[in-house]
Amino acid sequence: MSSVKLEQISRKFIDVAALQQQRFTGIDDISFEIPDGEFWVLVGPSGCGKSTLLRIIAGLETATSGDIYIGDRLVNQVPARQRDVAMVFQNYALYPHMTVAENLSFGMQMRGINKSIIQQRIQDVAKSLKIDTLLDRKPKQLSGGQQQRVALGRAIARSPQVFLLDEPLSNLDAGLRENTRSELKQLHQQVGITTIYVTHDCVEAMTLADRIVVLDRGYIQQIGTPNEIYHHPTNQMVATFIGTPPMNIIPAIYHDRIWNIGDSKISCSSELATQLQLRNGQGLNLGIRPEYLTIVPNSTPDTLSLTVQTLETLGRETLLKAQINGTSTDLNLLAPPSTSGQFNDLPDKMLGKQLTIQLASEWLFIFDPSTGRRLFPPNT
Ligand code: ATP
């Protein structure tokens, strides 16, 4: 086991189309230190640079600049096979002509590990991953989930310093993905190997990580525990990327202690107006998570009026998308079972239904519409 430290890692790709549009391609100025034994998740939209960063740590890609340390060892010049890291990819990459047992032992044999130790490790790993009854099968005789467990087992059996996982669950169907995800978490608790896990799925990031690194367009947006990232996002990108359904963003125009939002008006406290030095006519983005919007029976001065666009019945709750009247802004709302009775109609009958909602103003975020920076609550 080992810590992993990145110091100002950059990788610039030459992409003519991107250069013409003055777009940067690659990753830039990435620095962080993962303490020994922690599980970190790199998350972000497609093309944000997650895989590039993981491949640089693995030694499969060379950084344009910056330093990488595994433990105390500077590994910039160390080839991949000597970095003592194990990588698991989305497509398993098992040897098709070998049995599960042979796939598990191959890496250890190549390192000249004693046969009886190899046998013991195969048994231990196979048991902990529940593949001990499959040791004589070939990969094509296994389901996708079983193949992915073998791939994980092969990596664990090597007892690497660092475990690198690139979207390892994305080929599995939803149910299997959820099971394998919680097994992976348990496995990490047992073996405690420093793990870096890449995904574009924010639920995986939230459920697996000790700490999450949110990337966008090659840059770090925020590093924090799942709770910090969810409750204290530093900008609009993080706020809307993490959370399902995502945080609602409501463009509003400020005027004399009032937020004007289409046909609705919401009051703004004088403390907030003073703190943010708000000017009449100023446009800002209000952010609020769906769980802090409540459907209320009557409109009052501080409510928003909406028109239902879509409705999904999830059983435990109903997910609604509704447009704020007088705007083109859609909001995500969650109607709990207590209020779901009023949404019992078939979804197409609900279309166009008028709703009134209240915002829990203590959970309101305010973002600068041009930079996406969080203005409120202020960074502490
Ligand atoms: P995804 O989730 O789609 O796999 P990602 O976040 O892992 O995306 P990367 O694969 O790391 O993203 O790519 C980051 C950026 O670098 C993208 O814009 C990609 O097109 C570009 N890129 C990656 N590899 C190369 C390469 N060999 N040559 C040119 N551009 C590249």
Q: What is the pLDDT along the chain (380 residues), one digit of tens a residue?
A: 699 999 999 999 877 776 677 666 789 999 999 999 999 999 999 999 999 999 999 999 999 999 999 999 999 999 998 999 999 988 778 999 999 999 999 988 888 889 999 999 999 889 888 899 999 999 999 988 889 889 988 988 888 999 999 998 888 888 778 888 888 888 899 889 999 999 999 999 999 999 999 999 999 999 999 999 999 999 999 999 999 999 999 999 999 999 999 999 999 999 999 999 999 999 999 999 999 999 998 888 899 999 999 888 877 788 899 999 999 999 999 887 666 556 665 556 678 889 999 999 899 999 999 999 999 998 76
For the CA of 53, the closest atom of ligand 1 is 11
| Confidence (pLDDT) at 346 | 56
| Confidence (pLDDT) at 291 | 93
Q: What is the DSSP letter of 247?
A: P
Q: What is the DSSP letter of 245?
A: S
**CA 218 / ligand 1 centre spacing (Å):** 9
Residues 140, 216, single domain; the answer is yes
**CA 11 / ligand 1 centre spacing (Å):** 10
Look at the chain and report how many structural domains it folds into.
Answer: 2
In a domain, 339, yes or no: yes
In a domain, 186, yes or no: yes
| Confidence (pLDDT) at 158 | 83
Residues 214, 146, single domain; the answer is yes
Closest CA to 213 of 185, 236, 193, 234: 234
Mutation choice for ligand 1 from 9, 12, 28, 50, CB with most ligand atoms inside 8 A: 50
For the CA of 215, the closest atom of ligand 1 is 6
**CA 199 / ligand 1 centre spacing (Å):** 13
Mutation choice for ligand 1 from 14, 23, 42, 51, CB with most ligand atoms inside 8 A: 51
Instruction: Determine which residue's CA is closest to atom 4 belonging to ligand 1.
Output: 46
Instruction: Determine which residue's CA is closest to atom 16 belonging to ligand 1.
Output: 26
Instruction: Determine which residue's CA is closest to atom 9 belonging to ligand 1.
Output: 49
Residues 228, 273, single domain; the answer is no
d(CA 295, CA 168): 39
**CA 47 / ligand 1 centre spacing (Å):** 5
| Confidence (pLDDT) at 135 | 96
How wide is the angle at C-alpha 243 spanned by C-alphas 373 and 236, nearest 5°?
A: 10
In a domain, 240, yes or no: no
| Confidence (pLDDT) at 212 | 98
Find out whether the beta carbon of 12 lies less than 6 Å from any atom of ligand 1.
no
Among residues 189, 206, 234, the one where a domain terminates is 234
**CA 272 / ligand 1 centre spacing (Å):** 41
At 337-360, the pLDDT tens digits run 666 556 665 556 678 889 999 999
In a domain, 321, yes or no: yes
User: Do 364 and 320 contact (CB within 8 A), yes or no?
Assistant: no
Tally of CB atoms within 10 A around 89: 17
For the CA of 48, the closest atom of ligand 1 is 6
Alpha helices (H) along the chain: 16-20, 50-58, 100-110, 115-128, 144-157, 174-191, 202-208, 226-231, 236-241, 270-275, 337-340, 347-350
Residues 152, 101, single domain; the answer is yes
- Which residues, including other chains, have CB under 8 Å from residue 55's CB and lie 6 or more apart? 61
Instruction: Determine which residue's CA is closest to atom 18 belonging to ligand 1.
Output: 47
Q: With b meaning 16 or more CB within 10 Å and e meaning fewer, what string describes 324-357? A: bbebebbbbbbbeeebbeebeeeeeebeebebbb
User: Do 212 and 203 contact (CB within 8 A), yes or no?
Assistant: no
| Confidence (pLDDT) at 159 | 85
d(CA 283, CA 254): 6
In a domain, 129, yes or no: yes
Residues 178, 316, single domain; the answer is no
d(CA 46, CA 40): 18
Which region, left, alpha or beta, applies to residue 66 given φ > 0 means left and ψ of -120 to 50 means alpha? left
User: Do 2 and 162 contact (CB within 8 A), yes or no?
Assistant: yes
Tally of CB atoms within 10 A around 86: 22
Residues 217, 275, single domain; the answer is no
d(CA 254, CA 252): 6
User: Do 303 and 322 contact (CB within 8 A), yes or no?
Assistant: no
Residues 140, 182, single domain; the answer is yes
Tally of CB atoms within 10 A around 206: 19
Write out the residue range of the structural domain in which residue 334 sits.
Answer: 248-376
Residues 67, 121, single domain; the answer is yes
Amino acid at 59: G
Residues 91, 143, single domain; the answer is yes
Mutation choice for ligand 1 from 9, 15, 165, 214, CB with most ligand atoms inside 8 A: 15
